[in-house]
Amino acid sequence: MLRVSLLGNLGVEPETRFTQRGAQMTVFRVAVNQLRIGPEGERHENTEWFRVRVIGRQAEYAQRLAKGSRVFVAGRLVIGQYQARDGAQRTSYEVFADEVQSLSARPREMDSEPVAAGVSSVGARQNGDEESTEELEDLPF
């Protein structure tokens, strides 16, 4: 099993879905920038995109994130291959997150639930959730 920790920014608004068993799942994409200095001192910047799935109780909190939010994500990495529209082979990165934290000043507020300013945790590890990431692997989307 590959585990990763990512520090990046949300590229799109989180999307809420439900599993076949009715558990809430939040899906979003995170852009992670890598800076590398070449032998001549030149800067090379590369951005990798990761699709993140959060399931169970923590998904309710992850939906509060907004496009552009700085986040920390930890979870199981799944690497896939696909053929793009132009025919080129591409690599996809998907993280089944068990920890997500907002590092932005204020996550989006939901209904009347208060949100503290500063660094706020969007949820703790979800080991107690009934749904498992194994169920997600069978989803058609």
**pTM assigned to the model:** 0.71
Question: Could you tell me if residue 128 is inside a domain?
Answer: no
Question: Could you tell me if residue 141 is inside a domain?
Answer: no
- Do residues 47 and 84 lie in contact, with contact meaning Cβ atoms separated by under 8 Å? no
Query: What integer pLDDT is reported at residue 61 of this predicted model?
Result: 85
Question: Could you tell me if residue 132 is inside a domain?
Answer: no
d(CA 84, CA 48): 16
Q: State the residue range of the domain holding 110.
A: 2-123
Give the helix, strand, coil percentages of the chain, each rounded to 5: 5, 50, 40
State which H helix or E strand residue 140 sits in.
none
d(CA 15, CA 66): 10
Question: Could you tell me if residue 65 is inside a domain?
Answer: yes
| Residue 87: CATH number of its domain | 2.40.50.140
Query: What integer pLDDT is reported at residue 105 of this predicted model?
Result: 74
Question: Could you tell me if residue 67 is inside a domain?
Answer: yes
Count the domains in the chain: 1
State which H helix or E strand residue 89 sits in.
strand 89-102
Question: Could you tell me if residue 77 is inside a domain?
Answer: yes
Question: Could you tell me if residue 73 is inside a domain?
Answer: yes
Bin 94: left if φ > 0, else alpha if -120 < ψ < 50, else beta.
Answer: beta
Tens-digit pLDDT string for the chain (141 aa): 899 999 999 999 999 999 899 999 999 999 999 999 989 999 999 999 999 999 988 899 899 999 999 999 999 999 999 999 999 999 999 999 999 999 987 655 544 343 333 333 444 444 444 444 455 454 444
With CA atoms as reference, report the closest residue to 70 among 28, 37, 109, 124.
28
Question: Could you tell me if residue 137 is inside a domain?
Answer: no
